[in-house]
Structure 1
Amino acid sequence: MIKLIYDGKNSAIAVAVEKSNEILQNPTFYEKVSSLPQMSNTILTSREIADILRRNNQKIYIGSFWNPFSKATIIEKPCLFKVNTYKMSSITAFVVNSLINEAILAVATKCDGLYFEEKDYEEVDFSNVFPWRIGEIAEILTRKNRALTFQSNI
């Protein structure tokens, strides 16, 4: 399974990477991906995508930088992307969404079988675009896990 690696000093990124790795190791994540409807920018079925991601043993390295004039993330090499801490959300679930999304983009650059079309989408289509949709699943699971942890502590 995909593993994210961060050895920087930003604690918010470290927490989000830890949560992302928990999601990427969770069979429920792949079940949820498998159950998605056909995504609008790939010929792969959701089940095929889930199987490819589950079998992939890629390590993705994450760095960070600060620049108010840059994008939120930058893929520097196929297995390295950097997070712009200036544009990073303070909500862990949003960061997990971004990290999983970028990790899948990074994996797709090295995996011929993980095909999707990159193009601009209307807002109506955006909700069903690969890999953004998968990032949303990770965000939702992060929020649910936090809620369950909170309830069990009461």
Structure 2
Amino acid sequence: MDLRRLHIWQPITCLERAQVVNATLNYTDLGLSLTLIDRNNTEVDIIYDKISPIQDYVWSFRYTGEIPRSNLVPLVDEALQQENAINFSAEWFYKMSHSDYIAWFDQLPWIGSKEIPHVEHHIYCFNDGVFDIISDYEPRFVIRNEAI
């Protein structure tokens, strides 16, 4: 039985739903930054710039194309049935409970979710793929260009 569950997370509402056409991931000594741009040229920087107890900005991150991640569709459908306080014209993201990605990380020889139980699996989708990020804090969202 699949225990994974997506929870809709909508910390911003300036990106047009299902119209995020460009994404750029940048990882430097200042942190991890994911920039999403919608078809209206609205840009949002999602910034992970705090050092966590594992001595890094994020625990792990990955990119996967949209077709392999179509395995999320049933979980998205279930999440939509559970949520009712969302803006349906704006993009949303997800947090996953019972995450297989966190379970994978817990197999590594380092600190894991048993030592830091508030760790979260954040999921950001755009037209061509999906970014997964494991972090023990929520990122900052910086709106750089907002469509009028």
The structure that is strand-richer by fraction is 2
* Normalised TM-score (structure 2): 0.39
